[in-house]
Amino acid sequence: GDSVTQMEGPVTLSEEAFLTINCTYTATGYPSLFWYVQYPGEGLQLLLKATKADDKGSNKGFEATYRKETTSFHLEKGSVQVSDSAVYFCALSPNGSGNTGKLIFGQGTTLQVKP
Amino acid sequence: DADVTQTPRNRITKTGKRIMLECSQTKGHDRMYWYRQDPGLGLRLIYYSFDVKDINKGEISDGYSVSRQAQAKFSLSLESAIPNQTALYFCATSDPVGTTTDTQYFGPGTRLTVL
């Protein structure tokens, strides 16, 4: 079945460092891909998404490119801030005639940014 | 005011008790979802509903039931709570009408502890 795998956390960085959180997926057809962020004590918020191969999603300085050839959707940010400390979830939504709108999540990666 | 609200935010209960978690939304969305979050496992889908008359099981529905009282309300019940149902529970909504992908909007979560 469809699945999402994220890199193990926690990831600890200093402020202004470069961030990469790896995400790979297994899916039939052409899923849509998402990154959600969960700040401490809050629910998940959509960070960015991409709906087809080679699309780049971007928001708040974060970027991720839908790579069908490597089945990846890695999250990157050039310069992280303390306020980026959160849990990041990669997710996919299967498309096609069987689309039910369900999201399949990775296990989440905790990011801690130190001043 | 928040678009998706959950009550209660925290609940401690004992094994064997019946518990209901409630979710309300003001987004006017047709689709609603219940997930549970466990450390290291990401979010897993319990139940989802496309409208008041359409309720479907997710991947981990055993031990849970749901009720869609209205478009705006979707409740999750644990008929006889057990300790391994201790988790963070999230409600989410989405509106895919006219779209091919879904963005889900999450509530703040309910932290449930079963002793």
Q: Kindly determine whether residue A44 and residue B43, on different chains, have CB atoms separated by under 8 Å.
A: yes
Nearest Cα to B29, choosing from B52, B9, B53, B8? B52
The residues, any chain, with a CB within 8 Å of residue A18's CB and separated by 6 or more, are A76, A77, A78, A79, A80
The pLDDT of residue A97 is 45
The pLDDT of residue B102 is 63
Counted residue by residue, chain B has a size of 115
Residue A92 pLDDT more than 50?
Answer: yes
**Cα dihedral B93, B97, B98, B101 in deg (nearest 10):** 40
Q: pLDDT (tens digit, 0 to 9) for every residue of chain B, 115 residues total?
A: 569 999 999 999 999 999 999 999 998 888 899 999 998 888 999 999 988 999 999 989 999 999 999 999 999 999 999 999 999 999 999 876 555 556 789 999 999 999 9
Query: Pick the residue with more confidence: A8 or A97?
Result: A8
Looking at chain A from residue 28 to 57, which residues have their Cβ under 8 Å from any Cβ of chain B? 32, 34, 36, 41-46, 49, 51
The pLDDT of residue B96 is 61
